[in-house]
């Protein structure tokens, strides 16, 4: 590869429908900074292809034969084989929270436009989590509808000791982040500069040992900092 090729984001597309894979590949392949390095029709094949191609980003369907996207995500994250973005129809998918816990870096709806697809790939490739506000709200509602991710989710839940590491401002940022707000929106809400918010977000993730914003959503919900009605 040339130096320019080395800078490209390497993407693996995983879906059991060939037309979906082809459609995503067509959108991605025309971009100078993105290279589609492979496709897979199920989770088992995805893990094999990822080991062969070492992608930066894996676009992962959920419901597939042999191995579903959640189990595949768990394997990919454990072996550091790329950032996983779940691609789903969402309304009929009951496994999104499990995907979060498996280590997915974000979600993309299958009816998303080309620009959203490109934004998702680039964000994940830079190590940023992608969780749109509307997806955040729906994930948390689903978690609540299923009784929450853990028992004892009511008012008697004990707050994690790790939250004590946060300053008051960092705690405010965590709550707003977990509601799905972008850095710019948090900055407007708290009347801060966006660079300052970015620093606060980084501090929150570091102090709580969270990998990304997606994990922060899960953490805040499980810690009782936000309720489904607040999301």
Tens-digit pLDDT profile for residues 88-142: 876 555 666 777 778 888 888 788 888 888 988 988 888 766 665 566 666 656 6
Residue 54 pLDDT greater than 60, yes or no: yes
- pLDDT-based confidence at residue 181 (cuts at 50, 70, 90): confident
Question: How far does CA 76 lie from the centroid of its chain?
Answer: 14
- DSSP lists the bridge partners of residue 12 as 38, 58
> d(Cα 147, Cα 162) in Å, to the nearest integer?
24
Distance of alpha carbon 108 from alpha carbon 88, whole angstroms = 6
Alpha-carbon distance of 112 to 102, in angstroms, equals 23
Short-list 30, 26, 25, CA closest to 13? 25
Lowest mean pLDDT among 34-48, 62-76, 112-126, 189-203: 112-126
Tell me the residue ranges of DSSP E strands in 53-200. Answer: 57-60, 83-88, 106-109
Write down the pLDDT at residue 127: 72
CA 98 to chain centre: 12
Say if residues 62 and 90 touch (Cβ distance below 8 Å): no
Angle at which helix 183-190 crosses helix 194-207, to 10 degrees, equals 110
Predicted pLDDT of residue 157:
53
Residue 35 pLDDT more than 70? yes
Q: Which domains does the chain have, with CATH numbers?
A: 3-130 (3.40.50.2300), 152-230 (3.40.50.2300)
Residue 101: which residues within 8 A CB-CB, separation 6 or more? 149, 218
73-102: average pLDDT: 80
Q: What percent of the chain clears pLDDT 70, i.e. is strictly above it?
A: 78
- What's the pTM value of the predicted model, to 2 decimals? 0.68
């Amino acid at each position: 590869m040339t130096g320019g090729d080395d800078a490209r984001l390497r993407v693996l597309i995983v879906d059991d429908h060939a037309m979906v894979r082809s459609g995503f590949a067509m959108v991605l392949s025309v971009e100078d900074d993105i290279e589609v390095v492979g496709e897979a029709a199920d989770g088992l094949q995805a893990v094999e292809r990822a080991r062969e191609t070492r992608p930066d980003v894996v676009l992962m369907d959920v419901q597939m034969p042999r191995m579903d996207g959640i189990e595949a995500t768990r394997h990919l994250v454990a072996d550091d084989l790329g950032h996983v973005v779940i691609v789903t129809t969402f309304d009929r998918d009951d496994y999104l929270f499990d995907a979060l816990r498996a280590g997915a870096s974000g979600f993309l709806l299958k009816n998303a436009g080309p620009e959203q697809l490109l934004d998702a790939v680039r964000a994940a490739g830079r190590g940023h989590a992608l969780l749109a506000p509307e997806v955040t709200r729906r994930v948390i509602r689903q978690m609540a509808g299923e009784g929450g991710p853990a028992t004892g989710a009511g008012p008697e839940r004990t707050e994690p000791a790790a939250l004590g590491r946060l300053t008051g401002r960092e705690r405010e940022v965590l709550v707003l982040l977990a509601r799905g707000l972008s850095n710019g929106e948090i900055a407007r809400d708290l009347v801060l500069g966006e660079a300052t918010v970015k620093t606060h977000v980084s501090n929150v993730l570091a102090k709580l040992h969270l990998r990304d914003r997606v994990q922060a959503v899960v953490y805040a919900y499980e810690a009782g900092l936000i309720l489904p009605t607040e999301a």
